[in-house]
Structure 1
């Protein structure tokens, strides 16, 4: 078997849909027993008291994308098409910036109840 070149792999990834990429990441996680972490290296170390503000990041809309789009529309005040573009766009996507941690947790719960995957940074 010929070794794949990095450029060939990147070209293949560029042709995949977001669903296909998400499935690939899950398969890699399962196969190697690891968890992909988006932006973990960029996260600053917070003081022992915890952060005073967090950003709410949508990492995956999950299977019920329509519900997630409706919630994003409500949370952000965007129009329906702009909310859809945000959910369908490059992930992770910032849904809310610089909110109190307790508000961030409430937003996270609301989106997760709709089936989305969300992180607070």
Structure 2
């Protein structure tokens, strides 16, 4: 049970983490603290005993979706950017006009791959970092 809960917490999006923090504060009076929290930049947990090197077997699970090129179908890319980001048509067009741009941050692997495939199907170039 604890393992499943930990898995769910690790896979939360930034928006979901913020919603959880607000819920815990309102319902239980619990406020988040930075003490003892592990951030995505803290690699001490994922280090091996041999020389403190990061484990090469561990796979990255959180990605930023970066649009590098709109390809030949700019209008389709603008529409998809609008759908994914929730921005207006004008903001989405401006985003596509000034590449490369980060479209989404802290996306889990499955969603990132899905979004990347959608963009590649319409001829856009996307990078996951």
TM-score (norm 2): 0.56
Query: Which sections of structure 1, spanning at least 5 residues, go unmatched?
Result: 1-44
Aligned pair count reads: 76
Residue of 63, 70, 82 corresponding to 1:61: 70
CA 1:86–1:48 in structure 2 vs 1: closer, same or farther (change >3 Å)?
same
Change over 3 Å in CA distance of 1:51–1:85 after alignment to 2: same
Give 1:97's aligned residue: 105
Please identify runs of 4+ aligned residues in structure 1 that moved more than 3 A. none
Instruction: Give the greater-gyration-radius structure (CA).
Output: 2
Paired residue for 2:50? Answer: none
Matches within 5 A, 1:7-22: none
Q: CA deviation at 1:93?
A: 0.6
RMSD (Å), alpha carbons: 1.5
Aligned to 1:77: 86
Normalising by the residue count of structure 1, what TM-score does the alignment of the two structures yield? 0.59
Write 1 or 2 for the structure with the bigger share of helix.
Answer: 1
Q: Which residue of 1 aligns with 2:30?
A: none
Partner Cα distance (1:46, 1:87) in 2: 36
Unmatched 5+ stretches in structure 2? 1-53
